[in-house]
Structure 1
Amino acid sequence: MQITAALTETQGAPFTLTPLELDDPRPGEVLVRMVGSGVCHTDLIVRDQWYPVPLPAVLGHEGSGVVAAVGDGVSYVAPGDHVVLTFNSCGDCRMCVAGRPAYCDQFFAYNFAGTRADSSTPLHRESGDVHGVFFGQSAFATYAVATERNVVKVDQAAPLELLGPLGCGIQTGAGAVLNTLRPPTGSSLAVFGAGSVGLSAVMAAVVSGCTTIIAIDLNHERLELAKELGATHTIDGAADDTVAAIQELTDGLGVDYSIETTAVPAVLRRAVDALNQGGTCGLIGAAALGTEASIDMSSLLFGRSVRGIVEGDSVPRIFIPKLVQLYQQGRFPIGKLIKTYAFDDINQAVEDSEKGITLKPVLTFA
């Protein structure tokens, strides 16, 4: 079938809306009519080739839509179901079998190769094949082919156009708190970076019952939104000595937990230094491959730890519907993070995201 996709032709180039041919779903695959697609930091760093996904390619990995058709053997979803598209995984390796698909042994092959496992792609044009199945979906298109494994059925009463970011960015921030750190009621948490991922962590900290929730950012408007979403304190990362300010708010001890979302090595150091003894820092920020950071080894000796977190340690079929329920109950207001853009305004959405004007752009499809 013919679709329209936002094509990434070369490194750093603008997205160009391009007609492409999309194959019918194969056995185990699902054809989805896209309703919404979040624009994520990962899409942009892949466009810029921090991670070497082969180009030309169709990116996008926070899709939401309606199942249009299914391939042979698919039983989990049927045409008409509302779904969120999330990351892909093999389902058979030691990590997948252990219920940790975000750490699939084949994670890069299933999400960043630009092809299926057999090296084919479902996207084509007259001049040749186009790399697709980015994160098992390539959601910057009017239709996408995903797999039964990386679609998540959601309540049809929820606003489908807003749910795509639950497939990656929002589940990453929320899952870092709810799945990984699991702070007990009354805990303290500092979130470094008040973007959509960091603010999702703030909202999750409220759900968890944290009583000291500190948001750190350079953008005053984002800090005000953090307060609205439940942060008990905010710190200007440019004007203040961040670690000293956190210690002052915690009787000189530091926080029980911190989350680093910025991918800036110096910020990771502060996120660790701000911990109390026995505290844990969750590292979320995706830096360029090979980026190194300096940590005080003596500090780690006193029970402190750094924990890398991918996709919020989520099992998507379990976690994403829980987030939808929290949203429907008014306890997880993701709409406050999102601004929608028509699909053909994708480059404006990207520009607004990169300038910090919009926290979480979501493309909508007519």
Structure 2
Amino acid sequence: MRTRAAVIYGLHTRFEVKEVELDEPGPNEVLVHLAASGICHSDMHNVTGDQIAALPMIFGHEGAGVVETVGANVTHVQPGDHVVMSYLPSCGTCRWCTGGQTNLCDLGAYTVLGPQIDGTYRFRDDEGTELGQFCLVSTFSEWTVVPGQSVVKVDPHYRLERACLVACGVTTGVGTAIYRGGVRPGDDVMVFGVGGIGMNIVQGAKLAGAKRIIACDINDWKLEQAKIFGATHTVNPNITDPVEFANQLTWGVGVDRSFEAVATPETIGQAVRALRKGGQATVVGLTRHDQPDIPINPSDFVLWQKTLTGSLNGGCNPRNDIPAMLKLWDSGQLNLDDLVTNEYRLEQINDAYDDLLSGKNLRGVIRYEWADNGVDTP
């Protein structure tokens, strides 16, 4: 079949929106008609070379849509079901899945290789070039074929142009605060970088009952937006030293939990230094794959007993946490609507990334034209 998709052919190039050929789903696979896809910075890391993916590739990993057909052996979804993508598939049988860490499933190794799990490709252009699928899902295509392990069925009353956000940004941010960061009622929390992920860390910290939530960013507009999502204090590091700000606010003690969503060595070091004794810093921002070091004094970990940890997809189990976070949206405890600054057509994808990189968006969303007349009635 034919579908429109946004393709990256090489490093430091722009998206090319074109019609490409898409195969039917094979065994254990699902054909999905995408309604919407979020614009996430993680894709761009692979375009700039900060992370390594096999190009050419169709990117996009934060998607939601409607199942069109299913391949052999797929029983948990059927045509007409509304689904949200999981950009980290889980096999359910490896050491990590059986241990409750499905976000670390061995299938995650396939997310940047290009082909599907069986080693073959589903997309190709008119010249016959095989096109890889980012995170096995490629949501920057109106139609896509994905592993059955990569779709999570959701209630059809959720608006898919907002539900797509829980495929990555919301689960990663909220999960990082609650699961990986372990925010507890009464904690003082500091979030370095309040873009699409950091803003959801703010939401997660509020949901967990944090007392003070300090948003740190060089973008004053984002700092104002952070107050909508639960930030009690804001600081611009170009004006005020954020570590000193945290110390003053906590009477010299430091914050209980800090989160780094900027992905620079400097801000990781600040996140550690802002901690109290026994505090924990959690890194969720993607630095360069070859980043050699970060400016941290090892004595902090011994004499102050601080902890530095990482977070992949917030430590979430997508099959459980995607529906759970949609319920929190339903009940008004999570704010998805204000996360979306602008919506775009697929052919505007380069504009969408320009806006993201210039700091104009918390989240941009690609809306596919077929869904305009009501994604609730496929």
TM range (shorter): over 0.9
What is the distance in 2 between the residues matched to 1:130 and 1:139? 17
1:229 corresponds to which letter in structure 2?
A: F
Which residue among 343, 346, 357 is the counterpart of 2:346? 343
Contact 2:88 2:107 (C-alpha < 8 Å) held by counterparts: no
2:321 corresponds to which letter in structure 1?
A: F
Contact 1:89 1:110 (C-alpha < 8 Å) held by counterparts: no
Matches within 5 A, 1:161-180: 161-180=161-180
Matches within 5 A, 1:148-159: 148-159=148-159
* 4+ residue segments displaced more than 3 Å: none
Matches within 5 A, 1:196-345: 196-291=196-291, 292-301=293-302, 302-338=304-340, 339-345=342-348
Q: TM-score, normalised by structure 2?
A: 0.94
What is the distance in 1 between the residues matched to 2:51 and 2:71? 31
Matches within 5 A, 1:5-44: 5-44=5-44
Give the match's secondary structure for 1:225: helix
Which residue pairs with 2:373 in the alignment? none
Contact 2:33 2:144 (C-alpha < 8 Å) held by counterparts: yes
- For structure 1, the residue ranges without an aligned partner over 5 or more in a row are none
Give the match's secondary structure for 2:129: strand
Shift of 1:323: 1.0
Contact 2:84 2:164 (C-alpha < 8 Å) held by counterparts: yes
Matches within 5 A, 1:18-167: 18-89=18-89, 91=91, 92-107=93-108, 109-167=109-167
Contact 1:64 1:84 (C-alpha < 8 Å) held by counterparts: yes
Give the match's secondary structure for 2:206: helix
Contact 2:349 2:366 (C-alpha < 8 Å) held by counterparts: yes
What is the distance in 2 between the residues matched to 1:200 and 1:88? 19
Give the match's secondary structure for 2:106: coil
What is the distance in 2 between the residues matched to 1:341 and 1:51? 26
Give the match's secondary structure for 2:31: strand
Which residue pairs with 1:362 in the alignment? 365
Distance 1:315-1:121 versus aligned 2 partners, 3 A rule: same
1:148 corresponds to which letter in structure 2?
A: G
Shift of 1:173: 0.9
Q: TM-score, normalised by structure 1?
A: 0.97
Contact 2:283 2:308 (C-alpha < 8 Å) held by counterparts: yes
- Further displaced range: 87-96 or 220-229: 87-96
Query: How many pairs are equivalent?
Result: 365
**TM-superposition CA deviations, 1:260-292 (whole Å, max 9, x none):** 000110100000000001100011010111212
Shift of 1:105: 3.4
1:300 corresponds to which letter in structure 2?
A: F
Give the match's secondary structure for 1:131: strand
**TM-superposition CA deviations, 1:86-116 (whole Å, max 9, x none):** 2233523211221212222342x32110112
> What root-mean-square deviation, in Å, do the aligned CA atoms of Structure 1 and Structure 2 show?
1.2
- Further displaced range: 26-35 or 335-344: 335-344
1:161 corresponds to which letter in structure 2?
A: E
What is the distance in 2 between the residues matched to 1:127 and 1:343? 22
Q: Give aligned-pair identity as a percent.
A: 35
What is the distance in 1 between the residues matched to 2:323 and 2:89? 19
Contact 1:90 1:110 (C-alpha < 8 Å) held by counterparts: no
2:335 corresponds to which letter in structure 1?
A: P
Shift of 1:251: 1.6
- 1:4 aligns to 2:4 (yes or no): yes
What is the distance in 2 between the residues matched to 1:89 and 1:361? 24
- 1:352 aligns to 2:355 (yes or no): yes
Which residue pairs with 2:181 in the alignment? 181
What is the distance in 2 between the residues matched to 1:185 and 1:233? 17
